[in-house]
Amino acid sequence: MKILESAAVIITGIVFGLFLLGVQRKLVARVQRRYGPPIWQQFIDVAKLFSKSSISHGFVFDMGVMMALGGTIATLLFVPIGKLQVLSMSGDFIVVVYLMAVASLGMAMSAVNSGNPNASIGVMRALTQMFGYELPYLMVMMGMMFAYRTSSILGMAQVQQGGILNWNLFRVPIGAIVVFISMFGISGKKPFDTPIAPAEIASGPMVEYSGKFLGSLTLMHALVIFVDISIFVNVFLGGASNYWFFLLKVLAVFSLMVLISSVIPRFRVEQVVTFSWKWPLFFAVIQSVILVAMGVR
């Protein structure tokens, strides 16, 4: 039973994640008054990438990619998706956040081992940026965990039941906004896309990938976006008891993100840090002070 559920979760993640990427391309195109590719274009791309030949730069280059994809898949299993709760009983928020770091580390390792300086610079930028956006995110979550006395994602979803006004989005509004901003960073959306920045450093970490490597990383990217937004939905939007309803919420949040990011220019790399440490962090601290001092109403 568990195995079936796990398979369902993984398939959902991959399929829906790729679907989201398709939606993104379509939406951006529409905002830019283009027609855009079909929504299933990403499926075609990934299938094509896996069938092509590729270039490897050594053992760590391969292993890093596997670590990245494997780490994300593992993370996915800890996140509750509607009623599909495979391992979410022990889905500790801190564990999930750190498991995602395994994936990032794998990818960074692999990219740097390509020997291309652009990749190194990209990884440096990614890490720098992470230094910026993770802090406000974690500070808000600290307040939430203190207030609810739980670090379980499922637990946080459950306390919000009973009407839309019980959602943390309305109980913890500042925090929700801060986390929403941080999610741009996690999913690498503008203005937080300095690591990729095709015009400056030739797609940064991705510069040396081809064929199945690029395919795996696309899958990973799709999964990261899915996991990330799922956490947001669970923590701030009350989760969902219904599988489809959950996916709908994810889609809604994602669409909002894409719409916003499609009209914003990119930060310079140090601007990311100064910005994140100035406003989101400030509000995050305010929010956690409020949460610690007064709890959740």
CB of 264 to another protein, least distance (A): 20
CB of 31 to another protein, least distance (A): 30
- Enumerate residues 7-46 that contact another protein by CB under 8 A: 10
CB of 34 to another protein, least distance (A): 27
Bridge partners (DSSP) of residue 80 are: none
User: Looking at residue 163, what DSSP letter applies?
Assistant: S
Contact indicator for 243, 83 with CB cutoff of 8 Å: yes
The yes or no reply on residue 296 touching another protein (CB under 8 A) is no
Among 12, 42, 85, 118, binds another protein (CB under 8 A): 118
- Enumerate residues 122-181 that contact another protein by CB under 8 A: 123-125, 127-128, 130-131, 134-135, 138-139, 142-143, 145-146, 149-152, 155
How many residues line the site for another protein (CB under 8 A)?
A: 85
Residue type (1 letter), 223: L
Nearer to another protein, 150 or 262 (CB): 150
Nearer to another protein, 31 or 50 (CB): 50
CB of 183 to another protein, least distance (A): 16
Which residue, 1, 31, 269, is CA-closest to 133?
A: 269
d(CA 74, CA 7) in angstroms, rounded, equals 12
Nearer to another protein, 158 or 262 (CB): 158
Per-residue burial over 181-196, b = 16 or more CB atoms within 10 Å of its CB, e = otherwise: bbbbbbbbbbbbbbbb
CB of 198 to another protein, least distance (A): 12
d(CA 121, CA 258) in angstroms, rounded, equals 26
Q: What is the dihedral of CA 101, 151, 85, 71, to 10 degrees?
A: 10
CB of 188 to another protein, least distance (A): 16
Nearer to another protein, 42 or 116 (CB): 116
Tell me if residue 40 falls in helix, strand or coil: coil
Phi, psi of 81 (to 5 degrees): -120, 95
Contact indicator for 150, 291 with CB cutoff of 8 Å: no
Tell me if residue 187 falls in helix, strand or coil: coil
- Enumerate residues 234-293 that contact another protein by CB under 8 A: 269-270, 273-274, 285, 288-289, 292
- Enumerate residues 50-89 that contact another protein by CB under 8 A: 50-58, 60, 62, 65-75, 77-78, 87
